[in-house]
Amino acid sequence: MTRKYFGTDGVRGRVGDPPLTVDFAVNLASAAAKVLAPAGGSVLIGKDTRLSGYMFEAALEAGFIASGLDVLLIGPLPTPGIAYMTRHFGCRFGVVISASHNQYQDNGIKFFDADGGKLTDDAEARIEHELTGPPSTRSSNELGRASRVDKQRKFYQDFCISTLPQGLTFDGFKIVIDCAHGAGYKVAPRILTDLGAEIVPIGCSPNGRNINSGCGSTAPQLLQLTVPGVRAQVGIALDGDGDRLVMVDHLGRKVDGDQLLYVIAKARHEAGTLRGPVVGTLMSNFGLERELRRLGIGFERAAVGDRYVLARLRETGGTLGGETSGHLLTLDLTSTGDAMIAALQVLAVMRQTGRSLAELTAGLQLLPQVMVNVKVARRFDPTKTPAIENARLAAVQKLGDRGRIVLRASGTEPLIRVMVEAEDHREAESLANSLAEVVAAAGA
């Protein structure tokens, strides 16, 4: 069954343009209720801080209540927090209203199953099939009820803290926390404060339009200036929905998902607690793979997207994986990628070893990697376009075994990502720009 609306991470797009309209949200709620909760029950709705979140929250609430489901409204909370609270409340499923790292003009709707996991492709296809019919409205005595559960977010904060070794605190740590004016702006600072850290918050004043704007994991420049400026030990940057993590060491240097994965994997390997291979993606730096294998740690690659990393971890029995962008999965601790839980694991290694983040990442030598995002008029598969494929093959032949080339379509935006990895940065940049020109011409 093919999917028309669901991408790699739910339904996403520009607010007001199909499918991100109020009518569609009501229909989607009705269709999801039929597939995920045919016998009734409750559903949890959470969101980030976008202005349009109020609109979609109300539309989904109406659709679910009309379908006979009870609705729990928890307000702004990181996506992984909604996954956890879906399990905590025993809901049939959970819904997140967010477009993650995108700007406020975009929004999205994604679902978690009763176990806090992402829906299968088949489940999403079945929901889309139900969209062909009109939304349901039950009789008055069969309608659901709505209630606010905002104060219950404390359970998620306590859960995050429980993933640390008992008794471990961050007393004496000065941490700059950048929440991207997004879903983590309340819980993330409170978690760190509860653990004894002195915090310097930035990106914690959402106004509905400033989410991911010049801040957060996709724009950590302010964090990079602030950390050494206030003489903090480390900086933490979340994205708008709190599932993506980038950190900054005390020197103001960005530490990406590959480096953070290395820190956690190495510490777990030395402690004897690492299970299965570490799983990255096609975009993970070859330097990470090379260093992990040198340490005797298995490494495998999945397709880009944390759902595919998750699937590969389950297939291999692994518990640790992630993406360069900062989606990190620790399946022995939680069911989905969680930026705060991943950050806590890195902070714990710093505390237990007495080493700075700069020292912990010093053993990993990343290859120069150049990424060019090419805007296109429509989404398409670049590997099936002859002109692009011919250019790629020529570049691969020129590069030889000195690096890698990956071309892929974004699952959430009309972009083709061109990535070239080489031992020489100038060569990587030259090849990436040449390929980007071919892609741009083909996608015009």
Return the residue matching tokens 């296109």.
Answer: 376
End-to-end Cα distance, the chain: 30
Q: What is the pLDDT of residues 70-116, one digit of tens each?
A: 999 999 999 999 999 999 999 999 999 999 999 999 999 999 999 99
3-state SS, residue 220: coil
Task: Tell me how crowded residue 114 is: count the other CB atoms within 10 A of its CB.
Answer: 15
pLDDT digits (tens, 9 = 90+) for 382-418: 988 999 999 999 999 998 878 889 998 887 678 999 9
| Tens of pLDDT, residues 277-286 | 999 998 899 8
337 has pLDDT over 60: yes
Cite the active site residues.
100
Q: What is the pLDDT of residue 364?
A: 96
What structural domains does the chain harbor?
Answer: 11-151 (3.40.120.10), 156-253 (3.40.120.10), 255-339+357-361 (3.40.120.10), 369-442 (3.30.310.50)
The model's confidence at residue 381, banded by pLDDT at 50, 70 and 90, is: confident
CA dist., res. 24 & res. 439, Å (int): 33
Using pLDDT thresholds of 50, 70 and 90, give the confidence band for residue 304.
confident
pLDDT band, residue 3 (cuts 50/70/90): confident
Determine the pLDDT at residue 405: 92
Range 314-323 average pLDDT: 96
Q: How confident is the model at residue 2 (pLDDT cuts 50, 70, 90)?
A: low
Q: What is the DSSP letter of 8?
A: B
Q: What percent of the chain has pLDDT over 90?
A: 88
Q: Measuring CA to CA, which residue among 251, 182, 192, 255 is closest to residue 216?
A: 182
- Residue with the larger pLDDT of the pair 120 and 30: 30
pLDDT band for position 1 (cuts 50, 70, 90): low
Residue 402: the pLDDT is: 80
CA dihedral 125, 128, 133, 135 (to 10 degrees): 120
**pLDDT tens-place string over residues 177-192:** 999 999 999 999 999 9
